Chain A
C-alpha cells in the first residue's frame, strides 16, 4: 500500500496505461510541462508525441482526439479546467457521443476527457463550473465523478480501456487529498456505487467532494444516535440505481448532496429516479442539497456557503429524520 494524493493516483493510472498500450496517449494544453501534477515524468518516458502539447483550441483538439480514436488510437484529453469544455461541447456532443450510434456501430470513440472542477477557491464565475450534469443529458457519453485517490485511479484505468467516450470530472478540491492505493493493479467497474458509510436511518447520496463532507456528517450524526448510509455513485452514467434503491428501501429517507446547480442537476435526476421507483418505501419527502441557481461570485465572503458542507448535510439529515 502507498499513501498518495488524488493527483498522483491520476498520474499513476495514466503512466500504467500508456506503458501497457501504445495506442494510449495524452493530449492537452501544457501536458508535457506537468503544470498541475498529473503528467510528471511522462514526457521523458513516452516522448513528445504521446504527451502531446496542443495549441489553445479546445474545440479543434477535441475533434483531433475523436478522429484519432476513430482510427484506433486511445487519447486521453486533459482540459484542465472543466469550464473550458464548453468550447469543445460541439465535438463532445455531436461527434464523440453520436458517432457510434449515427454510423450504425461502424465506429466507436474510445477517448477519455479529463476535466478538473475548481470551485470554492475564489476563481469566480467562469472558472468554477461543476458541470457534469450537463453531459449526463447526452446519451452516448459516460460520466465519472471520483471522490478519492483510490477511485480516481481505478476509474481512470477503466475509462482508458472503455471503448466509448468517457468524461471524468475531477474535483479540484480533492487533488491534494491523500489515500491508500494498493501496490497491485486494480480497476473499478462503471455503474457500481460505493457504500462509504453504512447506516439504516437515512440514505445520503453524494457526489465527488460532497462524499467526504457526507461521511463527516454521518460520523457526527452517529454520535447523536442517527445512522446515516452514505452512497457514492462513482459514475453518474451509468448510474447504479439498484444500490441507491436498496438503501432507500432500508432507510425510507433520501438526501442527495451535490455541488452542482440545482435545476436539472445530478441531484434532481437521482431524486426523480427514487421518486419513480422507490416512492412506496419513502417515509419523508426527498431532500436535495445543492449549490444555488446562482453564478459563482469571486469574493470568498460571497462564495462561502454555496456548497453543502458537513454541518449543512447533518442538519438536513436531522430534518429528514424529524419529518
Chain B
C-alpha cells in the first residue's frame, strides 16, 4: 500500500496512479480528522487528563508525508501528533485507549496524548519537548546507515522547533554524514500564540537548508498529493544514499495550541484568517481532486467506514480497563536492577 508511487499532479487525472493508494490516503486523512474530533469531544467532557494538541487542518501534510514511506521506514513525531502514527499505519484502537489512559493503550497508559508511539509500524515516538525529536530521528537514520539497510526516517517538526539549536545540529549532522532522513517542517504559522514572523528572521524555514548544503522545497501543506510528491522524491534521495532533504509544508491548525479555556479570548490571529484557511481544507481539496476519478458514493462509503472505525475505537477505549496501580512501577528499566524494598523498578 505504501509502495513508492510518484504522483505528478500535472498529469494526474485518475488514470495513471494507483487508485487504492489514493483511497487509502483519503481514508487515513479521514481517520486523522475524526480521531482528533473525537479527542476534542472527550476533552470537552472532562474525560482526558492533562492537555490535548489537535492537528485538525494539518491532515494533508501529515498523511501525504507518511504515505511516501515504506512500512519498515521510521517516523518521529512531536507534541501535536495524534495523527502521525495513523498516517504511518497504526491502528486507532490502541491510540484512542492511550488517550484515555487505559491499559490497552499503545504505551499502556504511561505516555498519553503528547507521547503516542506505535513502534510496530515504525512510529518511534513523539517527544513533547519542542525540537528534541530532530536529533533522535538523525540517530535512527545513522543506525540504518550503520546497519546497512535502506530504511529512511521521516521527522516531523514545527516552525517553532526550527528555532531550537536541535534543528541546526540535526541538519548539520544529517548533511555531514549523508544520512537517510527527511525533515518535514509543519509550518502552521504559530508557536503557541507567537506568529512565525515574530520568532524567525526569515519567513521560509526551508531557506535555512542552504546553510547545510541540503536541498529543500516548499509545498502547499493543504494539498496532500503535493506533499506526497515532494516527500517521495526526498525519500528516494535518502534511500539512494544522497542524504537529507528539508520539505516545508505551509499549513494551519484550526484549533489553538491546545484544548481548554486558556486561549479562548486570545486575539493573536483573526477569524478572517481562520476562515480563509478553512476554505482550503485539506480533506475537501482532496475530495474534489478524487471526484474526477472515484465515484462519490465510494468516498461517502469510505467516510462512513472511518466513522465506524472511530466509534469502534472509542468503544474499545471506553471498555478497556484502567491499568492496575502497580503498573506505575514497570518499564523504567529493561535490564533488571537489584530491587531493595521497592526503591527501583525492574519492569
Using a CB–CB distance below 8 Å, which chain A residues touch chain B? 25, 49-50, 54-55, 57, 59-73, 90-91, 94-95, 99-108, 110, 139-140, 142, 162-164, 190-192, 237-242, 277
In the bound complex, do residue A64 and residue B111 qualify as a contact, i.e. CB atoms below 8 Å apart? no
Whose C-beta in chain A lies nearest to the C-beta of B135? Answer: A63
Q: What is the bound-complex CA distance between A241 and B341, given in angstroms?
A: 10
In the bound complex, do residue A68 and residue B140 qualify as a contact, i.e. CB atoms below 8 Å apart? yes
User: In residues 62-78 of chain B, which contact A (Cβ within 8 Å)?
Assistant: 74, 76
Q: Interface centre among A49, A73, A94, by most B CB within 10 Å?
A: A73
In the bound complex, do residue A67 and residue B169 qualify as a contact, i.e. CB atoms below 8 Å apart? no
> When the two chains form the complex, which single residue of A60, A65, A72 contacts B170, counting CB atoms closer than 8 Å?
A60
Verify if B146 is at the interface (C-beta below 8 Å from A): yes
Query: Residues of B contacting A69 with CB < 8 Å?
Result: 139, 143
Verify if B147 is at the interface (C-beta below 8 Å from A): yes
Given contacts A25-B146, A95-B132, A105-B330, contact A68 B107 (CB under 8 A): no
Q: What is the bound-complex CA distance between A162 and B154, given in angstroms?
A: 28
Given contacts A67-B135, A94-B129, contact A238 B337 (CB under 8 A): yes
Q: Give the number of residues in B that approach A within 8 Å (Cβ atoms).
A: 55
25 pairs, A vs B, C-beta closer than 8 Å? A25-B146, A49-B146, A55-B169, A57-B169, A57-B172, A60-B172, A61-B173, A63-B139, A64-B139, A64-B170, A66-B136, A67-B138, A70-B125, A71-B140, A71-B143, A73-B143, A90-B129, A100-B332, A102-B115, A106-B120, A107-B117, A140-B333, A163-B333, A192-B338, A237-B344
Query: Residues of A contacting B344 with CB < 8 Å?
Result: 237-238
In the bound complex, do residue B137 and residue A67 qualify as a contact, i.e. CB atoms below 8 Å apart? yes
Given contacts A100-B334, A103-B117, contact A70 B124 (CB under 8 A): yes
Given contacts A60-B169, A90-B132, A103-B119, contact A67 B332 (CB under 8 A): no
- Per-residue CB contact flags for chain B residues 101-132 toward chain A (1 = under 8 Å, else 0) read 00001111111000101111000110101001
User: In residues 124-168 of chain B, which contact A (Cβ within 8 Å)?
Assistant: 124-125, 127, 129, 132, 134-147, 153, 165-166
Q: What is the bound-complex CA distance between A59 and B340, given in angstroms?
A: 33
Q: What is the bound-complex CA distance between A68 and B173, given in angstroms?
A: 13
Query: Residues of A contacting B138 with CB < 8 Å?
Result: 60, 63-64, 67
In the bound complex, do residue B143 and residue A68 qualify as a contact, i.e. CB atoms below 8 Å apart? yes
Query: Residues of A contacting B332 with CB < 8 Å?
Result: 100-101, 139-140
User: In residues 1-48 of chain B, which contact A (Cβ within 8 Å)?
Assistant: none
Query: Residues of A contacting B139 with CB < 8 Å?
Result: 63-71
In the bound complex, do residue B110 and residue A103 qualify as a contact, i.e. CB atoms below 8 Å apart? yes
In the bound complex, do residue B106 and residue A104 qualify as a contact, i.e. CB atoms below 8 Å apart? yes
Using a CB–CB distance below 8 Å, which chain B residues touch chain A? 74, 76, 105-111, 115, 117-120, 124-125, 127, 129, 132, 134-147, 153, 165-166, 169-170, 172-173, 176, 330-335, 337-338, 340-341, 343-345, 347
> When the two chains form the complex, which single residue of A49, A55, A90, A104 contacts B110, counting CB atoms closer than 8 Å?
A104
Q: What is the bound-complex CA distance between A241 and B124, given in angstroms?
A: 36
In the bound complex, do residue A103 and residue B169 qualify as a contact, i.e. CB atoms below 8 Å apart? no
Query: Residues of A contacting B345 with CB < 8 Å?
Result: 139
In the bound complex, do residue A105 and residue B331 qualify as a contact, i.e. CB atoms below 8 Å apart? yes
Query: Residues of A contacting B117 with CB < 8 Å?
Result: 103, 106-107
Given contacts A57-B172, A103-B107, A163-B334, contact A67 B127 (CB under 8 A): no
> When the two chains form the complex, which single residue of A67, A100, A106 contacts B333, counting CB atoms closer than 8 Å?
A100
Q: What is the bound-complex CA distance between A190 and B141, given in angstroms?
A: 31
Q: Interface centre among A68, A139, A191, by most B CB within 10 Å?
A: A68
Given contacts A67-B138, A70-B136, A70-B139, contact A103 B337 (CB under 8 A): no
Query: Residues of A contacting B106 with CB < 8 Å?
Result: 103-104, 106
Q: What is the bound-complex CA distance between A67 and B151, given in angstroms?
A: 14
Given contacts A61-B173, A95-B136, A101-B332, contact A106 B147 (CB under 8 A): no
In the bound complex, do residue A104 and residue B146 qualify as a contact, i.e. CB atoms below 8 Å apart? no
Query: Residues of A contacting B143 with CB < 8 Å?
Result: 67-73
Q: What is the bound-complex CA distance between A25 and B345, given in angstroms?
A: 28
In the bound complex, do residue B137 and residue A241 qualify as a contact, i.e. CB atoms below 8 Å apart? no
In the bound complex, do residue A95 and residue B340 qualify as a contact, i.e. CB atoms below 8 Å apart? no
Query: Residues of B contacting A237 with CB < 8 Å?
Result: 337, 344
Q: What is the bound-complex CA distance between A66 and B129, given in angstroms?
A: 15
Given contacts A68-B140, A94-B132, contact A108 B169 (CB under 8 A): no
Least distance between B128 CB and chain A CB atoms (Å): 8
Q: Interface centre among A90, A101, A103, A238, by most B CB within 10 Å?
A: A103
> When the two chains form the complex, which single residue of A67, A139, A238 contacts B124, counting CB atoms closer than 8 Å?
A67
> When the two chains form the complex, which single residue of B111, B118, B132 contacts A63, counting CB atoms closer than 8 Å?
B132
Q: What is the bound-complex CA distance between A110 and B334, given in angstroms?
A: 9
Q: What is the bound-complex CA distance between A71 and B122, given in angstroms?
A: 10
Q: Interface centre among A59, A104, A105, by most B CB within 10 Å?
A: A104
Least distance between B55 CB and chain A CB atoms (Å): 20
Given contacts A60-B138, A104-B106, A104-B111, 20 further A-B contacts (CB under 8 A): A49-B145, A55-B176, A60-B172, A62-B135, A63-B136, A64-B138, A64-B170, A66-B139, A69-B139, A71-B124, A72-B143, A90-B129, A94-B129, A95-B127, A103-B125, A104-B110, A106-B119, A108-B334, A142-B333, A241-B340
Least distance between A320 CB and chain B CB atoms (Å): 25
Q: What is the bound-complex CA distance between A103 and B57, given in angstroms?
A: 27
Least distance between A64 CB and chain B CB atoms (Å): 4
